[in-house]
A and B are shown apart, each in its own frame.
Chain A
Amino acid sequence: MFGLDKVDTRTFLFVVAITLLAPFILNPFPSESALAQFNAGYPDLMQRFVIFGIFAIGFNILFGLTGYLSFGHAAFLGVGSYAAVWMFKLLSFNIVPAIALSIIVAGLFSLVIGYICLRRSGIYFSILTLAFAQMSFAMAYSVLSNPSFNLTNGETGLQVYASDPQYLKGNGPDNTHLFGLEMNSTATLEIGAWAFQFNIGFYVCAAFMIAAFYIAMRIFRSPFGLMLRAIKTNQTRLNYTGLNSRPYMLAAFVISGMYAGLAGGLLAATDPLAGAERMQWTASGEVVLMTILGGAGTLLGPVLGAAFIKYFENIFSKINDTVLHTWFSFMPESIENFLVAIIYPFVGKGWHLTLGLMFMLIVIFLPGGLVDGGMRIWNRITGKNRTQADPVADPKPAE
C-alpha cells in the first residue's frame, strides 16, 4: 500500500493510529486523580510531541543515514519560525502561506550553509554547522533587530501586533487558523472521570507529521536513501567508484533543513511568536539528543525520542517538593524527608540533571537508542533473532 512493502505499511499504519489516537493514549489517568499530573494529553504538549517529532525525523535523514553530525540544525528551525511569523504579520493568520514560506526559506538557507559546510567532513563539519548556527543566533539576537531594519525584533522575539498590515486578513479570525479552523480551538470529550481533549492545532501538526514520516520512509527505502547509507558506511570507497557523493549529501542536508523549517513554521503556527533562543546551540543539541535517544538511523526512533524528551521536560519539571511530600506522606516523616531530599535535585528545576544522566546512560549502554533496546528486549522475550530481518536498523557493509 502507498508504495510500501508489507512490514512498512504496518509500521506506517501503526504510526498513523498512534498519532490520531494520541489524545486517548496520552491521557490514561482520570483528571481528578493524583496521577493526573502524568497525563500528557493536553494540546500544548501533544503539539510539541509531533512538531519536535518532525524536527527529529528530518535530522535523522541527515545524521541517521549519512552519519554527518550537524550541531546547527536549530538555525533552520529558527529561520522557519521567523518566516512564518512574517507571513502572519504581512498577509493573514492563515497558516498555509506561512508554512509554505518557512519550508522554502529554511530550504534556501540550508542550501547555502550546506554547500559551504559539506566541503568538510567529520568533526570539522560539526564545528562549521555549529559556527553558522551560532552566527545566525547572534545576528538574530542583535544585528537584525536594529530600528531601521527590524527583521527579528531581538530579545523580545518576533510577534504579531495590531498595527501590522495583514493585507489579506479581511474579517478573518484574530488567531492562527487553517482556512477558518482556529488552531487553538479544542473540543473536550468527557467519559466518566476522564476528559479527552481534541485540538485542531494538534491534528494539523499530526497530519504534517504523518506526511513527514511517510516521506522519510520513502526516502529510507529509495535508491537515494541507499546512496546516503553508502556514504555513511564508507565514503572513500564510494568516491573511488567514481561517484561524486556531494550532491547526495547536499540533497540530504537540504531535505533535513526543510523538515526543520516545517517544524519551525508549525511552532509559529501553534503560537505566533519566534525568538532567537530557538536557534541557540543548546536547541541544536536537543534534537541530536532526541535522535540518539530514540535510535539514529531507525524510522520510529526520532519520533519516540522527541516524545520522550518533551514528555520528561514537561512532566519532570512540574514536580516540586510539595508534590514529592504528598507522594511519600504515607511513610514515617524521617524517611519521607530523606526520600524527598534525595529525589528533589533530579526533578523540578533540576530535571536537566536527569536529562544529562539519562543521555549519558543511553550513549554508554544503549548506543542504538530506545528502538534498539526495545528490539533486544523483544528478542529476549520471543527468543527470536530479529535483527537480521531488519537490515535497515543495522546496515552491515556488503563485502
Chain B
Amino acid sequence: MDAILLQVLNGLDKGSAYALIALGLTLIFGTLGVVNFAHGALFMIGAFVAVTLQRVLNLSIETVHADKKDFLGNPLKVQTTYVETWFGESAGQLIIGWSVPLAILAVIPIMLLIGFVMERGLIRHFYKRPHADQILVTFGLAIVFQEIVKAIFGANPIQTPAPDALAGVWNLGAWLGLSLPYPAWRIVYFGFSAIVIGGVFAFLQFTTFGMVVRAGMADRETVGLLGINIDRRFTLMFGVAAAVAGLAGVMYAPINPPNYHWGMDFLVLSFVVVVVGGMGSLPGAVLAGFLLGILESFASTTWATTTIPGINQIIIYLVAIVILLARPRGLMGRKGVMEE
C-alpha cells in the first residue's frame, strides 16, 4: 500500500510538469493553430530564471569586518550579499533562501514578454504556412534558446535549492496511519501546479476574456466578424501559455537541477502527452499528463523493471502508440481537429 501510494505521488509530480507543459502547448495549438516545438525551451528558460534570480540575490560586496581579525592579525574581509546589507542579516538570508518561490514573481512578466515577442515577431508569420514549416521554425528557435542558455550558464546542471523550510521531508501518511515520508518540495510542486491548472481553467471559464478566447477557439472567423479583435487576445494567450511553461520550469528547478537540454527532454514527452490527451483538448492534456506521469513512475519500480527490463524507458511511447491506434483522436480529442 505504501509503495503504491509512493509511486502515485512520484507520478503526480512528474505528471504535473507534463500536464503544465502540455496545457500550454494545447492552448497555443487550440488558439493559434500553431505547433510550437519551442515550448520545452520556454519551460527550460523558466527554470533558468530561478537560477538567475538566485545568482543575482547572491551578488555580494567585500567589506572589512569592524572588529574581527584573521589569524595574522589583519582586518578580516567578509563577503556580504547586497540583500543582507539592505534588509539586515536575517531578512536577507530569508530572501536568498526563498529565491525560487520569489522567482515566480519574476518569471510571469518575463515569460509573458518572451511569449509576446515570439508571437508577434515570428509565429504570426506562420499562421498560413503548413504545419511542417511551423514545426521546423520553432524547432530552430528551440535550438537557439538552448544554445544561448548553454553559452551563458554552461553545460552542467546547476543546483537550485528549495527554501530550507520546504527542503525537508513531510510525513504525508501520518493522516492515514501509514508511514510515508515524502520530500516536501515535491508536494508543494504538485499543489502549485494544481493551482496553476485550476487558474487557467477558471480564467477561460469564468472571465469575459476567457469566454471570447473559447469562442475564438471554436470559430475564429465568426468571432472576428462580430467585431472582436481576436488576434490580440490570442497573442495574449500565447503569452499565458509561455508563462505557464515558465512557472512549471521555475518550480521544477529544486526537484531536478536545471540544465540546458531540459527543453528538448521534456518537449518530446509533452508532445506525446498532448497527442495522447487529444490535440486541442485542454482537459485531455492535463489528464494525459498525470496519467502518463503515474504510469511512468509505476514502470520504474524494481518489480516492473525486473519483469520487463527497460519498461520504464519505453512505457510512455508504448502507451502513446496503443492509444493513437485504438483512439485516433486521443483520450478526449474533439472531432475535426488536425484531420485534414
Q: Does B139 contact A123, Cβ atoms closer than 8 Å?
A: no
Q: Does A128 contact B324, Cβ atoms closer than 8 Å?
A: yes
> Quick one: CB contact mask for A277-311 with B, threshold 8 Å, 1 for yes?
00001100100110010000000000000000000
Interface check A120, CB cutoff 8 A: yes
- Contact partner of B309 (CB less than 8 A), chosen from A120, A146, A288, A355, is A146
Interface check A87, CB cutoff 8 A: no
**A102–B253 CA distance with the chains assembled, in angstroms:** 43
- Contact partner of A360 (CB less than 8 A), chosen from B35, B141, B328, is B141
**A123–B150 CA distance with the chains assembled, in angstroms:** 29
Q: Does B144 contact A69, Cβ atoms closer than 8 Å?
A: no
Known: A138-B310, A143-B310, A355-B143. A288 touches B317 (CB 8 A): no
Within 8 A of B (CB), among A316-361: 345, 350, 352-353, 355-357, 359-360
Known: A141-B313, A345-B151, A353-B147. A128 touches B321 (CB 8 A): yes
Interface check B140, CB cutoff 8 A: yes
B119–chain A nearest beta-carbon distance, Å: 15
Interface check B22, CB cutoff 8 A: no
Contacting residues, chain A, for B325 (C-beta < 8 A): 116, 119
Known: A122-B340, A353-B147. A285 touches B268 (CB 8 A): no
Known: A128-B324, A142-B309. A359 touches B139 (CB 8 A): yes
Q: Does B314 contact A138, Cβ atoms closer than 8 Å?
A: yes
- Among A126, A131, A236, A360, the one with the most B-chain Cβ atoms within 10 Å of its Cβ is A131
List the A residue with the shortest CB-CB distance to B328: A120
Q: Does A67 contact B275, Cβ atoms closer than 8 Å?
A: no
Interface check B279, CB cutoff 8 A: yes
**A356–B122 CA distance with the chains assembled, in angstroms:** 14
List the A residue with the shortest CB-CB distance to B261: A282
Interface check A168, CB cutoff 8 A: no
List the A residue with the shortest CB-CB distance to B269: A134
**A67–B318 CA distance with the chains assembled, in angstroms:** 25
Interface check B195, CB cutoff 8 A: no
**A356–B268 CA distance with the chains assembled, in angstroms:** 18
Known: A119-B325, A359-B140. A69 touches B135 (CB 8 A): yes
Interface check A28, CB cutoff 8 A: no
Q: Does B143 contact A356, Cβ atoms closer than 8 Å?
A: yes
**A363–B122 CA distance with the chains assembled, in angstroms:** 11
**A22–B314 CA distance with the chains assembled, in angstroms:** 43
**A134–B272 CA distance with the chains assembled, in angstroms:** 11
Interface check B148, CB cutoff 8 A: yes
Interface check B49, CB cutoff 8 A: no
B305–chain A nearest beta-carbon distance, Å: 10
Q: Does A353 contact B140, Cβ atoms closer than 8 Å?
A: no
Within 8 A of A (CB), among B19-73: 35
Q: Does A367 contact B321, Cβ atoms closer than 8 Å?
A: no
Q: Does B140 contact A135, Cβ atoms closer than 8 Å?
A: no
Interface check A13, CB cutoff 8 A: no
A interface residues, how many (CB within 8 angstroms):
42
Within 8 A of A (CB), among B291-332: 309-310, 313-314, 317-318, 320-321, 324-325, 328
Q: Does B320 contact A131, Cβ atoms closer than 8 Å?
A: yes
Q: Does B275 contact A127, Cβ atoms closer than 8 Å?
A: yes
Q: Does A360 contact B137, Cβ atoms closer than 8 Å?
A: yes
Interface check B129, CB cutoff 8 A: yes
Count how many pairs of residues, one from A and one from B, have CB atoms less than 8 Å apart in the complex. 114
- Contact partner of B151 (CB less than 8 A), chosen from A67, A282, A289, A353, is A353
Known: A123-B35, A360-B141, A363-B140. A116 touches B310 (CB 8 A): no
Contacting residues, chain B, for A364 (C-beta < 8 A): 122, 125, 137
Known: A138-B313, A143-B309. A121 touches B340 (CB 8 A): yes
> Quick one: CB contact mask for A114-153 with B, threshold 8 Å, 1 for yes?
0010011111101110111011001101110010000000
- Contact partner of B313 (CB less than 8 A), chosen from A128, A139, A350, A363, is A139
Contacting residues, chain B, for A124 (C-beta < 8 A): 275, 279, 324, 328, 338
List the B residue with the shortest CB-CB distance to A149: B309
Q: Does B135 contact A126, Cβ atoms closer than 8 Å?
A: yes
List the A residue with the shortest CB-CB distance to B276: A127
List the A residue with the shortest CB-CB distance to B29: A123
B319–chain A nearest beta-carbon distance, Å: 9
Q: Does A360 contact B140, Cβ atoms closer than 8 Å?
A: yes
- Among A141, A288, A353, the one with the most B-chain Cβ atoms within 10 Å of its Cβ is A353
Q: Does B314 contact A67, Cβ atoms closer than 8 Å?
A: no
Contacting residues, chain B, for A122 (C-beta < 8 A): 131, 338-340
Within 8 A of A (CB), among B228-268: 264, 268
Contacting residues, chain A, for B144 (C-beta < 8 A): 353, 356-357, 360
List the A residue with the shortest CB-CB distance to B314: A135
List the B residue with the shortest CB-CB distance to A288: B136
A63–chain B nearest beta-carbon distance, Å: 8
List the B residue with the shortest CB-CB distance to A128: B324
Closest CB pairs A-B (n = 9): A356-B143, A143-B310, A138-B313, A359-B140, A353-B147, A360-B140, A356-B144, A131-B317, A135-B317
Can you sample 7 A-B contacts with CB below 8 Å? A123-B35, A124-B324, A124-B338, A127-B275, A135-B314, A135-B318, A139-B314
Chain B interfacial positions (CB closer than 8 Å to A) = 35, 122, 125, 129-133, 135-137, 139-144, 146-148, 150-151, 264, 268, 271-272, 275, 279, 309-310, 313-314, 317-318, 320-321, 324-325, 328, 338-340
Known pairs A120-B324, A356-B147, A360-B137. 9 more at Cβ < 8 A? A69-B135, A116-B321, A123-B279, A126-B135, A132-B321, A134-B268, A139-B313, A355-B143, A359-B143
